[in-house]
Amino acid sequence: MTTSGIGTIVIPVSDLTAAKALYGALLGVAPDVDQPYYVGYTVGGQHVGLDPNGRAQGLTGPVMYWHVDDIKPALAALLVAGAEEVQGVKDVGGGKLIATVRDKDGATLGLLQPA
């Protein structure tokens, strides 16, 4: 598996408007994605996303997404290594693919294959 490191962090939020104000102030930039289903900021090469549907999808806290060249073998390698699949490979728009797994201690890890 080849990874370029953690490139995206997605934070589940219950109040998108309040979270947008808080993270906008913290990051000091306007969002580059601003939709009712997702707000995202890019700062210093890092993407920070706010997901108002994250808790409904089982997210209990922020998820770090490791950027990979090829998501399917990366996901398979994590499953063989003992991870539990939370969400299989899913296209989240524009050809960007994500998947999530949970390690034995309950931490959720994400994989992201850029478009």
pLDDT in tens, 24-76: 999 999 999 999 999 999 999 899 999 999 988 888 899 999 999 999 999 99
Class of domain 3-113: alpha beta
What the block records as the tokens of 43 is 């700062």
CA angle 64, 99, 81 (to 5 degrees): 85
pLDDT at 3 over 90: no
Residue 8 has pLDDT above 80, yes or no: yes
Tell me, what's the pLDDT at 21?
A: 96
- Please, which residues have CB within 8 angstroms of residue 37's CB and are 6 or more apart in sequence? 51, 52, 53
Domain ranges of the chain: 3-113
